[in-house]
Structure 1
Amino acid sequence: MAEHDAHGTRNTRPRSQHATWRWASPEAQTVLATRDLAAILRFHRRVHGHSQSETGALIGYDKTYVSAIELGKRRLTDTAVLRHIADRLSLPPHVLGITDLADTDFRAMLQFGQSTVRLAEIARQAGHASQAVAELWPLVARLEARARDGHAEREALRLLADARLGLGTALGNVLPEERLATAAHWTAKSLNVVAHFDDPALTTTALRMHGNELRKAGLVGAAVNRLVRAANLAPSRASRAAVLPLLARAAGALGNAPLFDNTVREAKTLLDQVDHTSLVNPVALYEIELRGLIGTGRARAAIERAERTPPTPTTAVAPQWHVIQLITIGKVRLLGGDTRGAAELLTRAVTEARAQRLPHQLQRIIRTGGQGLTEVNDTASRTLSQLRTEMAA
């Protein structure tokens, strides 16, 4: 739909493309911090390659008026005009000194947005992924609406990237397998934002989280590609160590034994060099190693590894990791002929997966039990059906 300029003239020129990303650059932030319309107009013209005539057409003034503003010969103070210019340049109104209730409310939300992301991650790690999703949906919706309007600053876009990653990861816990592509979709949307930041640590994190969701969605080759990129880009030992367990898991799922072995070997080495986390620790790596040995056709090696004393926990492990480990060890026991032991482990896994609302893990239990553990499979199937009903409601 056509719009009207500050003088009521019909204006059919579309808004400047890519304005959101231009204003997110570090250089733009320096210019915007001046709150100087003349400097802002000059920057806008330079990065978009516009003449003063083209910029004038965009904001509803002629070339001579734009020139007068840039030279400091004209000072605009009318709030309606400034609001119009902010809108045409895709700027938040406060940049031009306008007190806007909606903008003020949004900036207050930004101040608490990172806390929301952190608390959501804590909830997910504690086994409350549904709560994390509930916290992140409203935040992502507001940030995306703001970005669509063109009013996005660097801090808002960074928060959007973090929120999308958190949402995708939380959805990866609570969605059943047939819907896990949705989780990967949200982490992929984060990559679209991250690409505009020159931040290796942020890019590594985004690639790591997206790669893991791709693996869970069954896109294992793409997952390995993203995770290898993340490992190569990692700016520190700690960030590389965070990638390697997930890369090992994806390599195992792909059946790539050399990549799996090399990755596990390096991950074990780094365990002695970095602080342990819920992912980077001996217990998590133990489960990943067992599953990878099976995935690369070495079931006997997995059985022998499981018969040895498991590693001692060195840090708190997320509850969902306990469920994952129960299922994996149960599968190893089943491969080794210990049907009773496998049934006991998988039955415990069903109970914990139900408590944590993890449909994907229930589906893993059903696949693991196969035809040999009918009672376990029936229980897991009923539990999964109950979760589906609750999610639909």
Structure 2
Amino acid sequence: MDTPQKTGKPPRRSPRLVSWHWATREAQAILATRNLSAILKYHRRVHGDSQTQTGELLGYDKTYVSALELGKRHLSDVGSLRHVAERLSLPAHVLGVTDPADADHRAMLQFGQSTVRLAEIARQSGHATEAVAELWPLVARLEARARDGNTEREVLRLLAHARLGLGTALGNVLPEERLATAAHWTAQSLDVVRIFDDPALTTTALRMHGNELRKSGLVGAAVHRLTHAVAIAPNQTERAAVLPLLARAAGSLGNQALFDRTMDETYHLLDEVDHTSLVNPTALYEIHLRGLVATGRAEDAIRRAEAAAVPTPTISIAPQWRVIELITTGRVRLLAGDHRGATELLVGAVREARAQRLPHQLQRALRAAGDVLPDARESAEQALTQLRTEMAA
């Protein structure tokens, strides 16, 4: 049995230097060989380390590292293999060591994937607070694993999805002054997504992050991210998922040309893709009204609202969309001079936003009511105060 003599306690490499390099495609191909010589050479190359520096990391001398790389020496005992795996920030099974934690790890991945899916269902069903409660522990656990150097691709992919889900759910439950927190979490996912050569995953991450940037007031950055997402979308379905959010951001930015062009393409794709919570006539009706108002065409919005009723949903849409549509339509009714109709719509929106715990939408209703709809304003103020009190408890 070849058991090397260690030169002393090695320094712990900073997590910043570990940097998730093991998640690249090249690294995965090398790790799949379980060839320690190739793994050591790759590690030295990506870090720019000499054999002496790698020896210091492992606690071995330079000549022993050289012998391992040349295949003149081999590690066979479990203790040494586990030690090398730990120092190189690798899961032990990569070097052929059966780790008792592997079964728990596999169960964690399966559980994590289910958690992300169920959290998204909860958010879409109007239970974003429950989604946050489920995702936060998962993200913390995955990040702790990554900090410890366990950076398998499957772990990082799950971490990216979990961060996106957490940020999006937070974007539902946080008030406007704290929405930067939601954008922070979706931005964190981009750090992981860049590792993967996966246009669909990148498009999803840019789409979700761009929308949270818009909500937090960084509209220019939002348009940039969403435009990028549209450009790299691998198919029409992915492209259609981004376009409504780009239209929203373009409207908020006051970019009439981009808004009109994006809306036209989105309507065109309605007949080509399956409808979703964003890509459906009901959602596009609200987005179109809001964008017309935001780009200085209130009269067009009024005419559109008066020409026909809200389109009948073609799918089961998320409850928060009803709140969003009520607020936007209420604002248009106010612009048309229908104070009574606007009050009814906004009070209804406040009632539903309070029930779903959506402070951002309550703030939108409050702004829409302004000083001209006192009943709606009072209703929104009371609901927002109650919700903030609960959040601070």
TM range (shorter): over 0.9
Inter-CA distance 274–110: structure 2 relative to 1 (3 Å threshold): same
Task: Give the partner amino acid of 1:362.
Answer: L
- The 3-state SS of whatever aligns with 1:235 is coil
- Between Structure 1 and Structure 2, how many residues are aligned? 389
Q: 1:247-306, CA deviations, whole angstroms, 9 ceiling, x for partnerless residues?
A: 100111111111111111111111111111111111101000000000011111000000
Inter-CA distance 255–6: structure 2 relative to 1 (3 Å threshold): farther
- Work out whether residues 15 and 147 of structure 2, in 8 Å CA contact, stay in contact via their aligned partners in 1: no
Question: Could you say which residue in structure 2 is the equivalent of 1:290?
Answer: 289
- Work out whether residues 255 and 295 of structure 1, in 8 Å CA contact, stay in contact via their aligned partners in 2: yes
Inter-CA distance 17–300: structure 2 relative to 1 (3 Å threshold): closer
Matched, 1:331 2:331: yes
Q: Give 1:115 deviation, angstroms.
A: 1.5
- Unpaired runs of 5+ residues, structure 1, are none
Task: Give the partner amino acid of 2:273.
Answer: V
Matches within 5 A, 1:238-253: 238-253=237-252
Question: Could you say which residue in structure 2 is the equivalent of 1:146?
Answer: 145
Question: Could you say which residue in structure 2 is the equivalent of 1:66?
Answer: 65
Task: Give the partner amino acid of 1:111.
Answer: Q
After TM superposition, the runs of 4+ consecutive aligned structure 1 residues lying more than 6 A away are none
Task: Give the partner amino acid of 2:75.
Answer: L
Distance 2:335 2:73 in 1: 81
- The 3-state SS of whatever aligns with 1:11 is coil
Distance 2:62 2:15 in 1: 17
Question: Could you say which residue in structure 2 is the equivalent of 1:237?
Answer: 236
Inter-CA distance 282–69: structure 2 relative to 1 (3 Å threshold): same
Inter-CA distance 264–6: structure 2 relative to 1 (3 Å threshold): farther
- Work out whether residues 324 and 361 of structure 2, in 8 Å CA contact, stay in contact via their aligned partners in 1: yes
Q: 1:176-234, CA deviations, whole angstroms, 9 ceiling, x for partnerless residues?
A: 01000000010111111111211111111111111100110011111111111111111
Matches within 5 A, 1:29-68: 29-68=28-67
Q: 1:23-49, CA deviations, whole angstroms, 9 ceiling, x for partnerless residues?
A: 101122122223332332233233334
- Work out whether residues 164 and 187 of structure 1, in 8 Å CA contact, stay in contact via their aligned partners in 2: yes
Task: Give the partner amino acid of 1:275.
Answer: D
Inter-CA distance 126–69: structure 2 relative to 1 (3 Å threshold): same
Distance 2:134 2:354 in 1: 21
Q: Give 1:381 deviation, angstroms.
A: 1.0
Task: Give the partner amino acid of 2:167.
Answer: G
- Work out whether residues 76 and 82 of structure 1, in 8 Å CA contact, stay in contact via their aligned partners in 2: yes
Matches within 5 A, 1:130-141: 130-141=129-140
Task: Give the partner amino acid of 1:236.
Answer: N
Distance 1:30 1:102 in 2: 23
Q: Give 1:75 deviation, angstroms.
A: 3.0
Mean alpha-carbon deviation: is it higher for 287-296 or for 9-18? 9-18
Task: Give the partner amino acid of 1:251.
Answer: A
Q: 1:327-360, CA deviations, whole angstroms, 9 ceiling, x for partnerless residues?
A: 0001011110111111111111111111111010
Distance 1:15 1:350 in 2: 49
Distance 2:77 2:52 in 1: 22
- Work out whether residues 20 and 151 of structure 1, in 8 Å CA contact, stay in contact via their aligned partners in 2: no
Mean alpha-carbon deviation: is it higher for 179-188 or for 225-234? 225-234
- The 3-state SS of whatever aligns with 2:340 is helix
Task: Give the partner amino acid of 2:46.
Answer: V
- Work out whether residues 6 and 81 of structure 1, in 8 Å CA contact, stay in contact via their aligned partners in 2: no
- Work out whether residues 207 and 230 of structure 1, in 8 Å CA contact, stay in contact via their aligned partners in 2: yes
Q: 1:135-180, CA deviations, whole angstroms, 9 ceiling, x for partnerless residues?
A: 1001100111111111111111111111111000000000001000
Q: Give 1:95 deviation, angstroms.
A: 1.7
- The 3-state SS of whatever aligns with 2:367 is helix
Task: Give the partner amino acid of 1:44.
Answer: H
- Work out whether residues 195 and 203 of structure 1, in 8 Å CA contact, stay in contact via their aligned partners in 2: yes
Q: Give 1:118 deviation, angstroms.
A: 1.0
- Work out whether residues 35 and 96 of structure 1, in 8 Å CA contact, stay in contact via their aligned partners in 2: yes
Question: Could you say which residue in structure 2 is the equivalent of 1:201?
Answer: 200
- Work out whether residues 129 and 173 of structure 2, in 8 Å CA contact, stay in contact via their aligned partners in 1: yes
Question: Could you say which residue in structure 2 is the equivalent of 1:321?
Answer: 321
- Aligned CA RMSD, in angstroms, stands at 1.8
Matches within 5 A, 1:1-393: 7=6, 9-12=8-11, 14=13, 18-309=17-308, 310-393=310-393
Q: Give 1:6 deviation, angstroms.
A: 6.7
Mean alpha-carbon deviation: is it higher for 96-105 or for 24-33? 96-105
- Work out whether residues 37 and 69 of structure 1, in 8 Å CA contact, stay in contact via their aligned partners in 2: yes
Mean alpha-carbon deviation: is it higher for 36-45 or for 259-268? 36-45
Distance 1:321 1:307 in 2: 20
Task: Give the partner amino acid of 1:382.
Answer: Q
Q: 1:358-387, CA deviations, whole angstroms, 9 ceiling, x for partnerless residues?
A: 010011111000111112211111111111
- Work out whether residues 7 and 61 of structure 2, in 8 Å CA contact, stay in contact via their aligned partners in 1: no
